[in-house]
């Protein structure tokens, strides 16, 4: 049986599944339930400065995007950081950590961009015995209007500055949580790295309006007829998160910087994908908020069995294994030539591939009077759209043309050598292959 | 011999009423296995309910939402383990459980759409995948040196044996019949577990090791309870119900009047269904699952008319609405409020006289009206009884009285399954009782 134990920045946890800083980790009650359910760690919901806590809206704070059958695809929220007193949270953190020494507890923090503010809160967090801190530079709503959260995460200089203060006044690992609401995720990651961060975690939520009520003309979630943008999360944001994780993982300037992956992790597969792209662990929120804490058991069992099936004994055996396969477009092999193949036995004759190809792509599928759909090799560019829209798994597949055969579309012989855009004759900037 | 689609209408009881092809078609899987895509679509409908009603409704309390989620995420072997952890006969239960009155009845989709998640077929998808690997998912704990005797290799005995073997005890099962499996092997309709699934499942279960089966070993004849008590550290009784209720009417000794359980067993053991004789006109007396199974299978073997005669109303019938509909769809005529008065015939059953009944002041009474049906073959399916009960055991409603996890009141003797009072006589209930008794035996033997 595979060993799921992870050591992230020296913080050990029995599995790589941590609950992200969010409503599920706002209280001792929830966190104890989470640990009993089997979660490997939690990032405690963001603490603010001592004094009167923030107040939340008293109307809806979540909006949702449903798929068919009301499946939750994405949730957005306008909840702020913890609205409970700092002292209460600190006492609870200390108690829970003492009772669960084998689980990870990292404390998320968000205080104003002033050295004194950070200097004040860090020792108090240290006293709880928590394993580390996560700097919330990500929340895009509410707190950002007050110069915190994403407002910091969008300014690399602030990230570096605050990170440096934290490393100065706090002994344990410092994780910097990044906002995706920027143009190039590598810049904030580099800033965190420069400030001495032990790791980055990403993504925080994406600025969003989930929908507009067409009767009241209010955005949702609506508070007394008005709405404010919230932070979007859940399965819908996973592709965005995977890309941002990969960008940091393969950036030479942040090479080796540990990453905690966040963004739509719902099943063991999602977790394995984030980890293959370089994440030392994953953080989860929406899936738990949708289905409850028990889902971690599916993740633990699924990941463990997959590792067994691949011969991976520990998580480090596969963490980062996909990173080297992420490359720039210009390095993709242009001599890799494929054609779609339709399995006529499996085809149910819905015609979706035909509609997609004929109307929107390359007119590379023919349709007979008796609804037989066939690929025209002389038109097919292997775009994959037919596969994407086909309702039958593996009915349409891509088959690589063997080197030496003629591509009927171009009339040229398929080359066996790898060749990319940088050397292509059509590229004005091409350097001649020698 | 018949051509495809034709029926031999010879009077009396005859074999080969249908062609081999028709018989093969008739006795194929009642609920065919899911293809992977079908399973994915079906699994996707599960809401992963909290404290799910389906789990509560399952006598073995399988974590149904979890195993379905595991199917969703492409982990059918994990799903199977979730099932087997609670129910080692999850493969058979997936096929024979009356899910329409258990998990699927309580599914919230049933409430919402009158169309539950098809839990039974999903369970089959997962367990089939696991059994196809050819490996056994459990290993035995270190040997405890304790031995346990089990009487009966039916669902209760097998579930008890597997759990005990897993916990490190050595088990010997004493089985009266030639093969292990109990009603899974001898008592379930053939179309519910085709392809010799019952034996395949027994073999797979036994592959954990530590379980020996002694067949043709009959309590009260070749072995005694005292003998078992002396030779083993504990005894579990799971011998089921070996006797059947008689039909005290004139003519019930005529040839052609048979016990439904014998017919069902013969059908299950038949190598060639076309060699199996069935009446032209069949009447089944009873209202439970055995009656339905006998009636449906008579029809599938080619009987021209099959009538199921039940003495009370449809609402009182033991067989579920699903089973009633199944019988009707196969062409079985369901008659309610009729009870047998006499069976007549010249040297063999030829007709049956039924008395109409009604319920008066809460009691069943004959109305005085009768109806006569042609009947070459009459099956008794009016209940089974505990046979060969050893002395000293407390009896309740004709069955062994137990408390808690199968305790008989005699130290060292546990019991479970159909031979015990309480709980429905279902495979899944027997599995739960066998498993729970095993845990209690383990606790007792190891002093925990």
Please identify, among A291, A325, A359, the residue that sits at the C-terminal boundary of a domain: A325
Point out the residue among A294, A295, A305 whose CB comes nearest to the CB of B75.
A305
Averages of pLDDT over each 10 residues, chain B, 448 residues: 70 92 93 94 96 98 98 97 98 96 96 96 98 96 98 98 98 97 95 94 98 95 95 97 92 96 96 94 96 97 97 94 95 97 96 96 94 97 90 92 96 97 92 98 93
Token readout for B170 is 């050595």
Contact B137/A at CB under 8 A: no
Please report whether residue B193 resides in a domain: yes
Residues of B in contact with A268 (CB under 8 A): 73, 75
Residue length of chain A: 434
Point out the residue among B44, B74, B82 whose CB comes nearest to the CB of A269.
B74
Please identify, among A325, A342, A364, the residue that sits at the C-terminal boundary of a domain: A325
Does B79 share its domain with B110?
yes
Helix (H) / strand (E) containing A152: helix A150-153
Distance of CA A326 to the CA centre of its chain: 16
pLDDT of res. B5: 67
DSSP code for A405: S
Q: What amino acid positions of A are annotated as catalytic residues? A: 139
Contact B72/A at CB under 8 A: yes
Please report whether residue B139 resides in a domain: no
Does A335 share its domain with A418?
yes
Please identify, among B76, B99, B132, the residue that sits at the C-terminal boundary of a domain: B132
Q: Do B37 and A292 touch (CB under 8 A)?
A: no
- The DSSP code sequence of B14-37 is ES--S-HHHHHHHTS-SSPPPPHH
> How far off is chain B from A87, nearest CA to CA, in Å?
33
Helix (H) / strand (E) containing A232: strand A230-233
Does A378 share its domain with A404?
yes
Does A344 share its domain with A321?
no
Q: Does residue A325 sit in helix, strand or coil?
A: helix
Contact B77/A at CB under 8 A: yes
Q: Do A298 and B37 touch (CB under 8 A)?
A: no
Please report whether residue B324 resides in a domain: yes
Contact B109/A at CB under 8 A: no
Residues 226-265 of A with CB under 8 A from B: none
Please identify, among B356, B380, B404, the residue that sits at the C-terminal boundary of a domain: B380
pLDDT of res. B10: 86
Does B437 share its domain with B367?
no
Instruction: With CA atoms as reference, report the closest residue to B441 among B216, B45, B156.
Output: B156
pLDDT of res. B422: 85
- B71, B73, B80, best to mutate vs chain A, most A CBs in 10 Å: B73
Scanning A195-294, the segments in alpha helix (DSSP H) are 238-249, 268-276, 286-291
Residue A43: strand pairing partners:
A106
Please report whether residue B137 resides in a domain: no
Token readout for B400 is 């062994």
Contact A5, A104 (CB under 8 A): no
Instruction: With CA atoms as reference, report the closest residue to B208 among B154, B136, B129.
Output: B136
Does B23 share its domain with B78?
no
- A70, A235, A270, A298, best to mutate vs chain B, most B CBs in 10 Å: A298
> How far off is chain B from A341, nearest CA to CA, in Å?
20
Does A258 share its domain with A338?
no
Name which residue leads in pLDDT, B362 or A32: A32
Does B330 share its domain with B437?
no
Phi, then psi, of A242 in degrees rounded to 5 = -60, -40
Please identify, among B97, B132, B167, the residue that sits at the C-terminal boundary of a domain: B132
Does B328 share its domain with B257?
yes
Does A316 share its domain with A351?
no
Please report whether residue B273 resides in a domain: yes
Q: Does residue A250 sit in helix, strand or coil?
A: coil
pLDDT of res. B133: 96
Does A142 share its domain with A178?
yes
Does A225 share its domain with A290?
yes
Please report whether residue A433 resides in a domain: no
Please report whether residue A366 resides in a domain: yes
Mean of the per-residue pLDDT values for chain A?
96
Burial of B311 (0-12, 13-18, 19+ CB in 10 A): buried
Q: What is the CATH number of the domain that holds A78?
A: 3.20.20.70
User: Number of Cβ pairs closer than 8 Å across A and B?
Assistant: 40
Q: Does residue B174 sit in helix, strand or coil?
A: strand
Contact B73/A at CB under 8 A: yes
pLDDT of res. A148: 87
Does B254 share its domain with B375?
yes
Distance of CA A94 to the CA centre of its chain: 29
Does B221 share its domain with B298?
no
Position A150 confidence tier, pLDDT thresholds 50, 70, 90: confident
Q: Do A392 and B37 touch (CB under 8 A)?
A: yes
Convert the pLDDT of each residue in A277-329 to its tens digit: 999 999 999 999 999 999 999 999 999 999 999 999 999 999 999 999 999 99
Q: Which strands, in side-by-side order, build the sheet including B351-360?
A: B338-344, B351-360, B363-374
Please report whether residue B56 resides in a domain: yes
Point out the residue among B36, B45, B66 whose CB comes nearest to the CB of A298.
B66
Does A303 share its domain with A386?
no
Point out the residue among A69, A291, A302 whose CB comes nearest to the CB of B73.
A302
Convert the pLDDT of each residue in B309-345 to its tens digit: 999 999 999 999 999 999 999 999 999 999 999 999 9
Does A318 share its domain with A349?
no
Please report whether residue A1 resides in a domain: no
Q: Do B44 and A291 touch (CB under 8 A)?
A: no
Instruction: With CA atoms as reference, report the closest residue to A202 among A239, A245, A149, A240.
Output: A245
Token readout for B44 is 């996707």
Contact B69/A at CB under 8 A: yes
Does A406 share its domain with A321?
no
Does A238 share its domain with A334?
no
Contact A69/B at CB under 8 A: yes
Please identify, among A278, A299, A325, the residue that sits at the C-terminal boundary of a domain: A325
> How far off is chain A from B78, nearest CA to CA, in Å?
7
Does B250 share its domain with B232?
no
- Count of structural domains within chain A: 2
Residues of B in contact with A306 (CB under 8 A): 75
Residues of A in contact with B75 (CB under 8 A): 268, 298, 301-302, 305-306
Please report whether residue B138 resides in a domain: no
Contact A294/B at CB under 8 A: yes
Does B128 share its domain with B221?
no
Please report whether residue B399 resides in a domain: yes
Interstrand relation of A396-400 and A406-407 (parallel, antiparallel or unpaired): unpaired
- Examine residue A203 and say whether the peptide bond preceding it is cis (omega within 30 degrees of 0): yes
Residues of A in contact with B72 (CB under 8 A): 267
pLDDT of res. A284: 98
Domain extent, residue B404, equals 147-242+386-446
Position A427 confidence tier, pLDDT thresholds 50, 70, 90: very high
Minimum Cα–Cα distance from A71: chain B residue:
B47
Contact B427, B97 (CB under 8 A): yes
Does B157 share its domain with B235?
yes
Q: What is the CATH number of the domain that holds A361?
A: 3.30.70.20
Point out the residue among B50, B70, B72 whose CB comes nearest to the CB of A292.
B50
> How far off is chain A from B67, nearest CA to CA, in Å?
8
Residue length of chain B: 448
Q: Could you give the CA distance from residue B226 to residue B240 in angstroms, rounded to a whole number?
A: 19
User: How far is residue B212 from each of residues A1, B90, B148, B172, B223, measured CA to CA in Å?
Assistant: 29, 21, 11, 5, 16
Contact A297/B at CB under 8 A: yes
Q: What is the CATH number of the domain that holds B337?
A: 3.50.50.60
Residues of A in contact with B66 (CB under 8 A): 294, 297-298
Does A249 share its domain with A342?
no
- B48, B55, B75, B138, best to mutate vs chain A, most A CBs in 10 Å: B75
Instruction: With CA atoms as reference, report the closest residue to B157 among B101, B200, B215, B118.
Output: B215
Q: Do B37 and A393 touch (CB under 8 A)?
A: yes
- Count of structural domains within chain B: 3
Convert the pLDDT of each residue in A265-288 to its tens digit: 999 999 999 999 999 999 999 999
Residues of B in contact with A346 (CB under 8 A): none
Residues of A in contact with B78 (CB under 8 A): 298, 301-302, 305
Scanning A64-144, the segments in alpha helix (DSSP H) are 86-99, 115-127
Q: What is the CATH number of the domain that holds B111?
A: 1.10.1060.10
Does B391 share its domain with B429?
yes
Q: Could you give the CA distance from residue A286 to residue A367 in angstroms, rounded to a whole number?
A: 43
> How far off is chain B from A292, nearest CA to CA, in Å?
8
Does B182 share its domain with B280?
no
Q: Could you give the CA distance from residue B392 to residue B408 in angstroms, rounded to a whole number?
A: 10
Convert the pLDDT of each residue in A94-145 to its tens digit: 999 999 999 999 999 999 999 999 999 999 999 999 999 999 998 888 888 8
pLDDT of res. B430: 98
Domain extent, residue A203, equals 6-325
């Amino acid at each position: 049986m595979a060993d799921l134990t992870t050591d992230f920045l020296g913080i050990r946890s029995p599995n790589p599944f941590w609950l992200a800083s969010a409503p599920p980790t706002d209280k001792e009650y929830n966190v104890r339930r989470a640990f009993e359910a089997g979660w490997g760690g939690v990032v405690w919901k963001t603490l603010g400065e001592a004094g009167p806590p923030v107040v939340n809206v008293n109307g809806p704070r979540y909006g949702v995007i449903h798929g068919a059958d009301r499946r939750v695809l994405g949730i957005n929220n306008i909840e702020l950081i913890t609205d409970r007193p700092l002292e209460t949270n600190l006492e609870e953190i200390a108690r829970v950590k003492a009772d669960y020494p084998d689980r990870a507890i990292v404390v998320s923090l968000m205080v104003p961009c002033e050295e004194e503010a950070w200097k004040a809160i860090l020792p108090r967090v240290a006293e709880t015995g928590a394993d580390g801190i996560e700097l919330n530079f990500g929340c895009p709503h509410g707190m950002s209007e007050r110069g915190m959260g994403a407002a910091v995460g969008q300014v690399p200089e602030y990230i570096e500055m605050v990170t440096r203060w934290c490393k100065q006044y706090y002994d344990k690992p410092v994780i910097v949580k990044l906002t995706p609401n920027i143009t190039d995720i590598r810049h904030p990651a580099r800033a965190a790295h420069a400030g001495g961060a032990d790791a980055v975690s990403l993504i925080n939520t994406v600025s969003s309006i989930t929908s507009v009520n067409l009767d009241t003309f209010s955005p949702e979630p609506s508070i007394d007829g008005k709405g404010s943008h919230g932070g979007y999360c859940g399965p819908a944001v996973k592709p965005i998160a995977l890309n941002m994780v990969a960008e940091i993982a393969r950036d030479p300037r942040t090479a080796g910087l540990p990453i905690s992956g966040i963004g739509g992790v719902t099943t063991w597969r999602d977790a394995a994908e984030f980890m293959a792209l370089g994440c030392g662990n994953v953080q989860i929120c929406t899936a738990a908020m949708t289905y409850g804490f028990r889902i971690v058991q599916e993740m633990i069992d699924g990941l463990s069995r997959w590792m067994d099936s691949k011969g991976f004994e520990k998580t480090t055996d596969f963490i980062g294994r996909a990173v080297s396969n992420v490359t720039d477009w210009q390095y993709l092999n242009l001599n890799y030539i494929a054609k779609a193949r339709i399995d006529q036995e499996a085809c149910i004759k819905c015609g979706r591939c035909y509609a997609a190809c004929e109307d929107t792509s390359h007119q590379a599928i023919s349709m007979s009077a008796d609804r037989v759909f066939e690929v025209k090799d002389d038109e097919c560019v292997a775009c994959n759209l037919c596969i994407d829209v086909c309702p039958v798994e593996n009915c349409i597949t891509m088959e690589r043309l063997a080197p030496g055969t003629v591509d009927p579309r171009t009339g040229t012989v398929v080359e066996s050598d790898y060749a990319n855009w940088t050397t292509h004759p059509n590229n004005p900037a091409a350097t001649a292959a020698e | 011999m018949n051509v495809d689609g034709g029926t031999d209408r010879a009077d009396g009881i005859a074999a080969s009423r249908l062609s081999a092809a028709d018989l093969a078609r008739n006795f194929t899987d009642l609920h065919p296995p899911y293809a992977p895509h079908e399973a994915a679509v079906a699994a996707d409908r599960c809401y992963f309910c909290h404290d799910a009603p389906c789990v509560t409704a399952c006598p073995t309390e399988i974590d149904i939402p979890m195993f379905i989620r595991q199917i969703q995420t492409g982990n059918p072997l994990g799903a199977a383990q979730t099932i087997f952890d609670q129910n080692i006969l999850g493969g058979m239960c997936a096929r024979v459980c009356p899910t329409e009155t258990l998990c699927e009845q309580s599914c919230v989709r049933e409430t919402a759409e009158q169309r539950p998640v098809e839990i039974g077929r999903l369970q089959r998808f997962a367990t089939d995948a696991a059994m196809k690997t050819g490996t056994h998912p459990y290993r035995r704990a270190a040997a405890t040196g304790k031995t346990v005797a089990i009487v009966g290799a039916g669902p209760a005995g097998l579930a008890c044996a597997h759990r005990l073997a897993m916990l490190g005890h050595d088990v010997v099962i004493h089985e009266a019949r030639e093969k292990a499996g109990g009603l899974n092997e001898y008592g379930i309709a053939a179309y519910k577990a085709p392809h010799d699934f019952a034996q395949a499942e027994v073999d797979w279960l036994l592959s954990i090791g530590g379980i020996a089966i002694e067949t043709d070993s009959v309590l009260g004849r070749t072995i005694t309870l005292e003998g078992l008590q002396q030779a083993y550290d504990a005894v579990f009784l799971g011998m089921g119900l070996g006797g059947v209720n008689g039909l005290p009417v004139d003519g019930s000794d005529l040839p052609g009047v048979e016990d439904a359980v014998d017919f069902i067993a013969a059908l299950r053991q038949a190598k060639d269904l076309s060699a199996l004789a069935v009446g032209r006109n069949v009447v089944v007396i009873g209202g439970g699952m055995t009656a339905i199974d006998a009636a449906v299978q008579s029809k599938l073997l080619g009987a021209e008319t099959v009538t199921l005669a039940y003495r009370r109303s449809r609402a009182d019938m033991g067989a579920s609405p699903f089973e009633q509909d199944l019988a009707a769809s196969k062409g079985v005529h369901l008659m309610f409020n009729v009870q047998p008065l006499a069976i007549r015939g010249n040297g063999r059953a030829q007709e049956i006289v039924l008395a109409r009944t009604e319920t008066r002041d809460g009691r069943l009474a004959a109305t005085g009206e009768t109806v006569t049906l042609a009947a070459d073959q009459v099956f008794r399916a009016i209940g089974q009884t505990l046979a060969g009960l050893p002395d000293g055991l407390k009896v309740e409603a004709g069955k062994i009285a137990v408390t808690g996890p199968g305790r008989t009141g005699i130290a060292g003797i546990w019991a479970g399954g159909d031979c015990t009072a309480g709980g429905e006589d279902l495979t899944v209930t027997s599995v739960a009782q066998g498993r729970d008794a095993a845990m209690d035996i383990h606790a007792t033997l190891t002093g925990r």
